[in-house]
């Protein structure tokens, strides 16, 4: 048996990232570094660029990196297609998971899982093996297997959509998971299910970024680092106490910060 | 339960604008031929290029066939039995409103469009057209301060002939269709608007068309040019007296929008529709089209069509400039034996062009109401989008509602969506309103204006209120 | 002799062999040898393809076709039109018997008599050309009837013409699949008539599957009586020129019609569907979905018309046209139309033309699917909705595989 090493590996490193969409600069120099085993929270007002950041990491075609770098385990991911990023271990939990009528959830999950497994040089699963595999994971988010036979997210409630996202995260075993406002639109019970799912999936070898502007998710999952974002930059970084401070004092001070600079 | 008898008990509100103004007018003899075209042109002292324009159009008209494809039934029009020029007799040159025949001023007063300085509407400039000629245009000087030209097209032909020569017929060529050709040959008057670069027109502009004479046709012509970065909102209103013969109205409206310009064109059409037996009324065969030449330009048509025995009208947009926008919002209400065939054409030529069509048809009595539309996405219109919604409401079981949407796309990177539905006023909904103490008729008109809300929201304030009132008047007693 | 020559010059010397029906239709055709291109239902038709359709030599021969995408035979009753075998099947619960010749001709003459000639060219042509050997007329009654499979094919280098008439007796439920197979360089005219008695249910599938340079005009004429239900699934692909005309008449209203069809065009092909649904009584129901997918330089056309006269109160009809345009050079025309003169009705129609949804593709790609896989999944679901509606078992006809293979 290999002995556990305490040496952390850098999973995701973003340096001086500028990005724009339709000639509008949204990210203005983001720096962040995430090591294995760490949970980071990015907080900030609507429109500060948090969601953009997550979409750029996942490779959304509407955004363009104008300068700076994103590295996954030391490799620049800019040339990678969205699916290649996913296969190499980047996972984005969408704030608004899209409904895709007619496309079977089970079929979709299987193809996605196998694409990731192929990348990891694991054996691909046939239909029967996959059904067993997915059923184990269903427990993590307390989902019924009936969800599998439905179309992707179609007719799902807000909570069901988010649980479906976490299920996908469990299946794909990403190196780095970015969860964009996974807590929005959830009641407290659904939030607990989602949060406990995330905690079960989190491990020593992977990193998680939680994007939120509320404390309530962070009550459930305690982050190691909290970053405050404003006007396309990270303007302050601290530990979980920073989130509590934000909860108490709000974001008004961030405006002052922007105006000063 | 909806009470059947109400239909017969409450006869529709009599047509409010059906009076005739007793005024001596100058008419030319009936019929059309080359001499008549020359005569009209000479009466207006027109330059040669315009006479040639007319003569060419007349030649085209003779070659064209009267369209019969629209879903309309009417007796053949005898084009030799129409008077092509009729003008109220007045002094040759009118210098101010004081010189206008008081009877004419009184007429417009009665129509709710006072023209004299003391009474005129303060927020709208009006061009009043009576039969074949423009009587007066208000606020001309004030508009001129901003460089805005607002005058009758006859004046524009004299004073701004460079603009007329450049743009007249550039959107709707004389050969476009039968009625456009006829109009191009014999048009008498109409409005001309020019908004210079980067000017937002300081007030709404409006034309009011009044047909007074029973045996003359009305062929007005409107041309609006919005230069780069300018914008204008233009309103058009129409009424006519009650005659038991049919009167032909064949107008042409051309709009031109250059880069970043926007034109909003609203119509409330309330021509006399004929009586409940279908006798009399206006034949309204109109060609309206806008050309979005400039990038990010926008042309928006909104119309409330309640009058005319027959309406044949498709205000359209040709979207050439990149990211240009075309809109069409329409309410067409038909009652008794009215027939309406209306809709739009959105021709997407430039990339990222967008269009929206919202059409609401309400048919009551024995009337027939058709939506006919064309959405065409050309092969260069990458990223083009269209959304169309066509809803019909049927009142009574003898009215007809037809929808003929035609969609053509040659560009995969584009999206076209058409939705249509037909409904009636549900008894449950009426009952619910009535059980809250709302009168039956009130409930119906609430439902109808609810049905039309998407379109009314697009109308300028004064018009929206008028349109709402107009609809409820027209509908009175038609629910069964 | 090509088809037009047969019509205009006539073959007087063999006219003695012709049935009365053939004589009547010839006369009508001579008035309009080819359809007027100004007529809305022919306006979009590609003229050179249409003239190729008419330019094959006529033949009334029959050869067994090769049947694609098909495996073993189960409990099934299979008929080839033109094979000239007697059909007379009878079990305790059901019966399929042939209609006699006189009955068939009388039925068709009535249909010709009643219809508007300017809109009925395809059927007129069919009835003029089809000889009695190539007409199958069946009377079906009873319950638990085995699946009926009717195969209709054209022969390489020839024009074939066939007619199918099916009379469904009251209270019968039947599954019928009609497979039109086009050989390469061939033309086929097939007119089908289905008369559905009261309280009957018919599940009908029409699969028109050509090879390169196949041409087809297929008409389907359905009369539905009270409380009947008609479910149609249709699939047209691989035709250089394909045209399906669907005419459904709910003769007394009070019936249910469900239609789901798809047409797929590639290369330079043109495939069109014309649907005309008439409600001639109250309480009718229609749910129609027509999908098309156009690739390369192809052209896809859909034109639908729903007619709701005053007598058809409480009609509930919906017609949707969903189209995918996958190439810069392809073209889609769609025109779903409504004509309504009854106030207590619920009618809806809609049309969309777009490409595969980009957000959906991105979502799937963000989960590691390739662009190719994501599009395949979308196409599969796009096809599946129609295919699962066909009354044809997947084991017997793996249509999805057939459709996806040449992607």
Q: Which residues in chain B have Cβ-Cβ distances shorter than 8 Å to C347?
A: 420-422
| Amino acid B108: pLDDT | 72
Indicate if the pLDDT at residue B9 is higher than 70: no
| Amino acid B78: pLDDT | 86
Residue of A nearest to C379 (CA): A103
Round to whole Å and give the CA distance between C351 and C289. Answer: 10
For residue C377, give the nearest of A60, A61, A107 by CB distance. Answer: A107
Round to whole Å and give the CA distance between C174 and C146. Answer: 8
pLDDT band of C11, cuts 50, 70, 90: low
Round to whole Å and give the CA distance between C390 and C179. Answer: 12
C369/A85 touch (CB, cutoff 8 Å), yes or no: no
Q: What is the phi/psi pair of residue C309, to 5°? A: -75, 175
pLDDT band of C178, cuts 50, 70, 90: very high
Round to whole Å and give the CA distance between A165 and A143. Answer: 11
Give the C window 272-331 contacts with A, CB below 8 Å: none
| Amino acid B142: pLDDT | 85
Cβ–Cβ under 8 Å, residues C139 and C167: yes
Could you tell me if B193 lies within 8 Å of chain C, comparing CB atoms? no
Nearest CA of chain B to the CA of C310: how many Å? 6
Indicate if the pLDDT at residue B256 is higher than 90: yes
| Amino acid B435: pLDDT | 60
Instruction: Show which residues on chain C lie within 8 Å of chain B, measured between beta carbons.
Output: 310, 313, 323, 325-355
pLDDT tens digits, one per residue of B315-352: 999 999 999 999 999 988 888 888 888 899 999 999 99
pLDDT tens digits, one per residue of A34-75: 999 999 999 988 888 998 999 899 888 788 999 999 999 999
Neighbours of C, requiring at least 3 CB pairs below 8 Å, are: A, B
For residue C345, give the nearest of B414, B415, B422 by CB distance. Answer: B422
| Amino acid C385: pLDDT | 86
Average pLDDT taken over every residue of chain B: 81
Q: Which residues in chain C have Cβ-Cβ distances shorter than 8 Å to B420?
A: 336, 338, 347-350
Q: What is the phi/psi pair of residue B143, to 5°? A: -70, -35
Is the ipTM above a cut-off of 0.90?
no
Residue of B nearest to C307 (CA): B402
| Amino acid B364: pLDDT | 83
Which range has highest mean pLDDT (A81-85, A216-220, A248-252, B132-136)?
Answer: A216-220
Residues 6+ apart with CB under 8 A from C25: C112, C124, C125, C127, C128
Indicate if the pLDDT at residue C73 is higher than 90: no
Q: Which residues in chain A have Cβ-Cβ distances shorter than 8 Å to C384?
A: 102
Q: Which residue has the higher pLDDT, B396 or C41?
A: C41
Domain count, chain C: 1
pLDDT tens digits, one per residue of A116-142: 898 899 998 988 899 999 998 999 888
pLDDT tens digits, one per residue of B354-392: 999 999 988 888 888 889 899 999 999 999 999 999 888
HSE (CB half, 13 Å, CA atoms) of A187? 3
Q: What is the phi/psi pair of residue A136, to 5°? A: -55, -45
CA angle A131, A134, A136 (to 5 degrees): 115
Q: Average the pLDDT over B64-70 and give the result.
A: 75
| Amino acid B11: pLDDT | 27
Which range has highest mean pLDDT (B59-68, B86-95, B177-186, C33-42)?
Answer: B177-186
Could you tell me if A61 lies within 8 Å of chain C, comparing CB atoms? yes
pLDDT tens digits, one per residue of C77-124: 889 999 888 888 888 889 999 999 899 999 999 998 888 888 899 999
Residue of A nearest to C377 (CA): A103
A111/C362 touch (CB, cutoff 8 Å), yes or no: no
Chain B interface, mutation test: which of C341, C346, C357, most B Cβ atoms within 10 Å?
A: C341
Could you tell me if A104 lies within 8 Å of chain C, comparing CB atoms? yes
Q: Average the pLDDT over A3-14 and give the result.
A: 77
| Amino acid B95: pLDDT | 62
Residue C110, SS3 per DSSP: helix
| Amino acid B10: pLDDT | 26
Q: Which range (B28-37, C193-202, C351-360) has the least confidence?
A: C351-360
Indicate if the pLDDT at residue B197 is higher than 90: yes
A172/C385 touch (CB, cutoff 8 Å), yes or no: no
- DSSP β-ladder status, B133-137 and B124-130: antiparallel
B400/C351 touch (CB, cutoff 8 Å), yes or no: no
C334/B407 touch (CB, cutoff 8 Å), yes or no: yes
Could you tell me if B294 lies within 8 Å of chain C, comparing CB atoms? no
Q: Which range (A199-208, B140-149, B437-446) has the least confidence?
A: B437-446
End-to-end alpha carbon distance in chain A: 53
For residue C377, give the nearest of A83, A87, A111 by CB distance. Answer: A111
Domain range enclosing C94: 2-405
Round to whole Å and give the CA distance between B330 and B301. Answer: 8
| Amino acid B92: pLDDT | 55
A107/C385 touch (CB, cutoff 8 Å), yes or no: no
Indicate if the pLDDT at residue B480 is higher than 60: no
Q: Average the pLDDT over C164-172 and give the result.
A: 95
pLDDT tens digits, one per residue of A146-162: 888 888 888 888 888 99
C354/B415 touch (CB, cutoff 8 Å), yes or no: yes
Cβ–Cβ under 8 Å, residues A211 and A42: yes
For residue B416, give the nearest of C342, C349, C353 by CB distance. Answer: C353
pLDDT band of B478, cuts 50, 70, 90: low
| Amino acid B3: pLDDT | 36
Residue B427, SS3 per DSSP: helix
Percent of all residues in chain C with a pLDDT value above 90, rounded to a whole number: 56
Q: Which residues in chain C have Cβ-Cβ distances shorter than 8 Å to B411?
A: 325, 328
Q: Which residue has the higher pLDDT, B478 or C127?
A: C127
Token representation of residue A22: 């339709």
Round to whole Å and give the CA distance between B383 and B415. Answer: 8
pLDDT tens digits, one per residue of B410-455: 998 888 988 888 877 766 666 666 666 666 666 676 677 778 877 8
Indicate if the pLDDT at residue B196 is higher than 90: yes
Round to whole Å and give the CA distance between B258 and C84. Answer: 70
Q: Which residue has the higher pLDDT, B455 or B313?
A: B313
Indicate if the pLDDT at residue A3 is higher than 50: no
Chains B and A are in contact, defined as 3 or more C-beta pairs closer than 8 angstroms: no
Indicate if the pLDDT at residue C263 is higher than 90: yes
For residue B412, give the nearest of C328, C334, C348 by CB distance. Answer: C328
Q: Which residues in chain A have Cβ-Cβ distances shorter than 8 Å to C370?
A: 81, 83, 115
| Amino acid B96: pLDDT | 65
Cβ–Cβ under 8 Å, residues C89 and C96: yes
Indicate if the pLDDT at residue B297 is higher than 80: yes
Could you tell me if B410 lies within 8 Å of chain C, comparing CB atoms? yes
Three-state helix/strand/coil letters over B175-240:
CCCHHHHHHHHHCCCCEEEEECCCCECCCEEEEEEECCCCCECECCEEEEEECCCCEEEEEEEEEC
A86/C367 touch (CB, cutoff 8 Å), yes or no: yes
pLDDT band of C126, cuts 50, 70, 90: very high
| Amino acid B104: pLDDT | 72
With 0-12 CB in 10 A as exposed, 13-18 as middle and 19+ as buried, what is B278? middle
| Amino acid B72: pLDDT | 62
């Amino acid at each position: 048996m290999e002995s556990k090493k305490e040496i952390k590996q850098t999973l995701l490193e973003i340096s001086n990232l500028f990005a724009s969409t339709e000639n509008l600069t949204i990210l203005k120099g983001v720096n962040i570094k995430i090591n294995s085993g760490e949970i980071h929270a990015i907080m900030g007002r609507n429109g500060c660029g948090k969601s953009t950041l997550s979409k750029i990491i996942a490779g959304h075609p509407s955004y363009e990196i104008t300068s700076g770098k994103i590295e996954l385990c030391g490799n620049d991911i800019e040339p990678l297609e969205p699916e290649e990023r996913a296969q190499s271990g980047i996972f984005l939990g969408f704030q608004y998971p899209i409904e895709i009528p007619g496309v079977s959830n089970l079929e979709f999950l299987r193809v996605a899982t196998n694409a990731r497994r192929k990348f990891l040089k694991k054996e691909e699963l046939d239909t029967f093996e996959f059904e067993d595999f997915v059923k184990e994971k269903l427990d993590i988010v307390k989902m019924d297997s009936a969800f599998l036979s439905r179309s992707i997210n179609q007719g799902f409630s807000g909570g069901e959509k988010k649980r479906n996202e976490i299920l996908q995260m469990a299946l794909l075993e990403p190196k780095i998971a970015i969860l964009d406002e996974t807590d929005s639109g959830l009641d407290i019970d659904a939030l607990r299910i989602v949060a406990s799912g995330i905690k079960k999936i989190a491990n020593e070898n992977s990193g998680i970024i939680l994007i939120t502007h509320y404390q309530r998710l962070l009550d459930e999952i305690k982050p190691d680092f909290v970053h405050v974002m404003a006007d396309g930059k990270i303007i302050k970084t601290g530990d979980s106490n920073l989130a509590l401070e934000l909860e108490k004092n709000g974001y008004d001070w961030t405006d002052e910060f922007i105006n000063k600079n | 339960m909806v009470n059947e008898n109400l239909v017969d008990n409450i006869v529709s509100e009599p047509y409010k604008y059906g009076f005739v103004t007793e005024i001596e007018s100058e008419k030319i003899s009936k019929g059309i031929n080359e001499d008549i075209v020359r005569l009209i042109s000479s009466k207006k002292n027109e330059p040669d290029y315009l006479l040639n324009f007319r003569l060419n159009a007349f030649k085209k008209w003779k070659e064209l066939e009267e369209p019969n494809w629209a879903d309309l039934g009417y007796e053949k029009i005898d084009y030799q039995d129409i008077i092509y020029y009729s003008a109220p007799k007045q002094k040759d040159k009118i210098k101010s409103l004081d010189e206008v025949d008081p009877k004419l001023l009184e007429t417009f007063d009665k129509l709710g469009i006072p023209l004299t300085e003391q009474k005129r509407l303060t927020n709208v400039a009006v061009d009043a057209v009576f039969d074949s000629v423009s009587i007066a245009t208000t606020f001309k000087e004030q508009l001129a301060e901003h460089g805005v030209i607002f005058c009758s097209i006859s004046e524009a032909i004299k004073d701004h002939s460079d603009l007329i020569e450049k743009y007249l017929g550039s959107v709707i060529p004389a050969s476009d269709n039968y009625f456009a050709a006829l109009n191009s040959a014999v048009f008498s008057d109409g409005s001309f608007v020019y908004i210079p670069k980067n000017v937002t027109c300081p007030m709404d502009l409006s034309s009011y068309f009044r047909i007074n004479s029973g045996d003359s046709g009305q062929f007005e012509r409107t041309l609006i040019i919005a230069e780069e970065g300018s914008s204008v909102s233009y309103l058009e209103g129409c009424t006519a007296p009650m005659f038991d013969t049919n009167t032909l109205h064949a107008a042409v409206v051309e709009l031109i929008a250059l880069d970043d310009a926007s034109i909003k064109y609203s119509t409330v059409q309330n021509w006399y529709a004929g009586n409940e037996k279908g006798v009399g009324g206006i034949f309204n065969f109109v060609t309206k089209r806008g050309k979005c030449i400039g990038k990010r330009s926008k042309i928006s048509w909104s119309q409330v069509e309640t009058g005319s025995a027959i309406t044949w009208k498709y205000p359209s947009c040709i979207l050439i400039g990149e990211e240009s926008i075309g809109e069409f919002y329409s309410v067409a209400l038909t009652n008794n034996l009215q027939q309406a065939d209306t809709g739009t054409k959105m021709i997407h030529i430039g990339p990222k062009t967008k269009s929206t069509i919202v059409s609401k048809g309400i048919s009551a009595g024995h009337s027939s109401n058709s939506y006919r539309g064309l959405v065409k996405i050309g092969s260069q219109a990458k990223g083009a989008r269209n959304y169309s919604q066509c809803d019909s409401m049927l009142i009574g079981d003898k009215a007809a509602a037809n929808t003929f949407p035609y969609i053509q796309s040659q560009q995969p990177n584009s999206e076209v969506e058409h939705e249509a539905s037909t409904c009636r006023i549900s008894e449950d909904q009426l009952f619910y309103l009535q059980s809250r103490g709302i009168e039956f008729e009130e409930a119906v008109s609430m439902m109808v204006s609810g049905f039309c809300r998407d379109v009314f929201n697009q109308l300028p304030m004064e018009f929206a209120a008028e349109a709402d009132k107009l609809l409820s008047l027209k509908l009175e007693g038609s629910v069964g | 002799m090509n088809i037009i020559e047969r019509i205009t010059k006539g073959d007087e010397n063999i006219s003695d062999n012709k049935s009365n029906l053939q004589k009547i239709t010839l006369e009508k055709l001579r008035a309009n040898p080819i359809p007027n291109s100004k007529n809305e239902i022919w306006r979009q038709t590609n003229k050179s393809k249409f003239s190729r359709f008419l330019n094959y030599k006529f033949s009334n021969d029959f050869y067994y076709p090769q049947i694609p995408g098909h495996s073993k035979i189960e409990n099934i009753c299979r008929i080839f039109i033109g094979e000239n075998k007697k059909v007379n099947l009878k079990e305790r619960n059901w019966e399929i018997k042939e209609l006699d010749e006189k009955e068939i001709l009388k039925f068709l003459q009535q249909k010709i008599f009643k219809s508007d000639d300017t809109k009925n060219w395809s059927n007129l042509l069919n009835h003029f050309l089809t000889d009695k050997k190539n007409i199958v007329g069946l009377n079906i009654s009873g319950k638990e009837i085995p699946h009926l499979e009717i195969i209709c094919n054209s022969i390489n280098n020839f024009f074939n013409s066939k007619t199918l008439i099916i009379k469904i007796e009251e209270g019968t439920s039947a599954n019928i699949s009609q497979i039109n197979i086009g050989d390469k360089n061939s033309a086929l005219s097939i007119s089908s008539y289905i008369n559905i008695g009261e309280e009957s249910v018919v599940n009908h599938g029409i699969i028109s599957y050509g090879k390169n340079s196949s041409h087809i005009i297929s008409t389907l004429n359905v009369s539905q009586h009270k409380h009947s239900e008609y479910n149609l699934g249709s699939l047209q692909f691989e035709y250089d020129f394909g045209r399906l005309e669907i005419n459904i008449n709910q003769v007394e209203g009070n019936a249910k019609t469900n239609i789901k069809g798809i047409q797929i065009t590639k290369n330079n092909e043109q495939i069109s569907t014309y649907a005309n649904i008439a409600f001639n009584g109250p309480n009718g129901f229609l749910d129609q979905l027509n999908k098309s997918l156009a690739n390369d330089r192809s052209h896809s056309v859909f034109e639908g018309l729903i007619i709701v006269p005053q007598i058809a109160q409480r009609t509930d009809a919906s017609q949707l046209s969903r189209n995918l345009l996958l190439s810069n050079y392809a073209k889609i025309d769609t025109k779903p139309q409504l004509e309504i003169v009854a106030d207590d009705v619920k009618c809806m129609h809609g049309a969309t033309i777009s490409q595969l949804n980009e957000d959906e593709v991105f979502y799937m790609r963000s989960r590691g699917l390739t662009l190719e896989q994501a599009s395949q999944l979308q196409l599969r679901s796009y096809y599946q909705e129609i295919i699962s509606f066909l009354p044809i078992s997947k084991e017997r006809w793996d249509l999805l595989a057939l459709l996806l293979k040449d992607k």
